[in-house]
Structure 1
């Protein structure tokens, strides 16, 4: 019997995270500086689109700050009951960012509909100038965040906040121009509704992807059945069961399985070979494989094997599962 695991963490991970932090701090500074100016402009112009953009920028700043805090927490080493460390902190951060986007959607839809029915006076030129400046600021912040590791849902959550805010400024600039040239005051509220639709898409995507991680679903680019069949195809393997594939945090796929091998096979060699195969074929660097010899007529070493069993009926003494 052999039980073992393998690790495949990159040596440059710590350096990469430090670079990500610098990009996030730069984006945060840009956003906070402009947010103050936009609040003043929104009040002076009496523009819901500008005020909604300012509120969104506050959530942008909060999202980036939360991402930085989550990165710091996630860097803590495993200890005590937290055997995987605190890596899920980044996923919780992505969840919070997704929820805040959806909450903002609800507010902007309510306020936007109200202002379509009862449009207030809006100062188009102030809205236009402020929005154009906002586009430049958010484009700069989005560029900084795009250089960070967006495979991390934590970073992606902050990026989506900033990107959607840039879209919001584009819509606001158009509405300011329309109000200025035509006097159509409802354009301001319509712009807020367009932004709400974009935020709904981004927020739902963050909740869906982070929810998969929290529910320990297999990564969307990995098929557990394909992995099971590939492991079972090894010449010494008779059966694979209790196969679990999940993600601890973004970019950290993990696998465990119970592997039954033929009598006379070297359990240690089989385990090493399968771990290398998983790393090369599926980029799964953290694997835990329990490898046992199969004995015809006896149980499969698990009183309650979970999930489907993978085997080749031509090799397995257990027959076709």
Structure 2
């Protein structure tokens, strides 16, 4: 007689994590992304050693871009994991919000890193240390190469969508103003510079320019404070670049309705309210489920003599063009109330 176990034991977290990692690694694209991840981690360790050797706060701030790239690559792996998952009773809409949460966490950690750099820079201004320029320029070029390689070498759907859909940072707006003036003189640059430059490319180039100027000032004038001011500038640019993306993903996590969809939803609901048999809409709620995916629910009160299936089909056909995951509840008018 064996022991009867009425409840099957749940697998441990480590075992579940191992199983999910193995399932993701079976995707051919995931193996390529893991190679980028390993390369990025090794490069970041080398850069941090060079930061310690040069005693440069600006190079440390610039290296934080490669640390952000590590979280960006992990977000890309989470996106692949989401694609192979199916809805479950606990997550009836699927697991797509996990990649939204991953982007939000990555951008928030980058902003926390910029606060740390700003704090350390203020302390360095009070007692400016000596900066060794031996590997400063080499580290700048290497960090820029690693960051651009990861940015354009990995197809990060979540990050690319967030960078394109979020509002422009102050740095992008200033560069766009200058680009419009430049494109009026050289029209051939319009496709590359307008409507706005990729924010990850922009912060890499501007940070690299600041470090190059720092190298020249220290090498020729021994102006060590230039390194600290460059670190402050990179930290401010990092915060300004990541803040719009954090706000965009936070609105998705808070289940808000996109502002650019409100007008279209109001128009469609007004048109649907004129359908034969429809009396009113109640408890309309529409929200962004994930990147490019809108969910919604609505209650429709109809006449007692109305055909419920016909009204349901008409309302669904009107709203389904905007809302991909739609729940409609039809109930008939109660004359007894």
Query: TM class, shorter-chain normalised?
Result: 0.7 to 0.9
Gaps of 5+ in 1: 1-17, 300-321
Q: Equivalents in 1 of 2:48, 2:250: separation in Å?
A: 34
Query: Normalization by structure 1: what TM-score?
Result: 0.73
What residue number does 2:300 align with? Answer: 259
CA 1:237–1:95: 2 relative to 1, 3 Å: same
Partner of 2:44: 35
Equivalent positions of 1:89-168 (< 5 A) are 89-124=98-133, 126-145=135-154, 148=157, 150=159, 152-153=161-162, 164=203, 167-168=206-207
The CA distance in 1 between the partners of 2:85 and 2:257, in whole Å, is 25
RMSD: 3.3
- Is 1:276 equivalent to 2:285 in the alignment? no
Unaligned runs of 5+ in 2: 1-26, 167-197
Query: How far does the alpha carbon of each residue in 1:14-47 deviate from its partner, in whole angstroms, 9 at most, with x for none?
Result: xxxx697577546534533422331232222221
Partner deviation per Cα, 1:63-91 (whole Å, 9 max, x = no partner): 42244236425742222332223222112
Could you tell me which of 249, 256, 259 is aligned with 1:210?
A: 249
Task: Name the structure where helix makes up a greater proportion of residues.
Answer: 2
The 1:298–1:78 alpha-carbon spacing in structure 2 relative to 1, beyond 3 Å, is same
Report how many residues are paired: 278
Higher relative contact order, structure no. (Cα contacts within 8 Å, ≥ 6 residues apart): 1
CA drift of 1:99 comes to 2.1
Residues 232 and 34 (structure 1), Cα distance of their counterparts in 2 relative to 1, 3 Å cut: same
The runs of at least 4 consecutive aligned structure 1 residues that moved more than 6 Å come to 154-157, 159-163
Do residues 174 (structure 1) and 203 (structure 2) align?
no
**Cα 1:19/1:272, change in 2 over 3 Å:** farther
SS in 1 for 2:297: strand
From 176, 191, 208, the equivalent of 2:230 is 191
Could you say what secondary structure the match of 2:157 adopts? coil
Q: What's 1:315 paired with?
A: none
Structure 2 length as normaliser, TM-score? 0.70
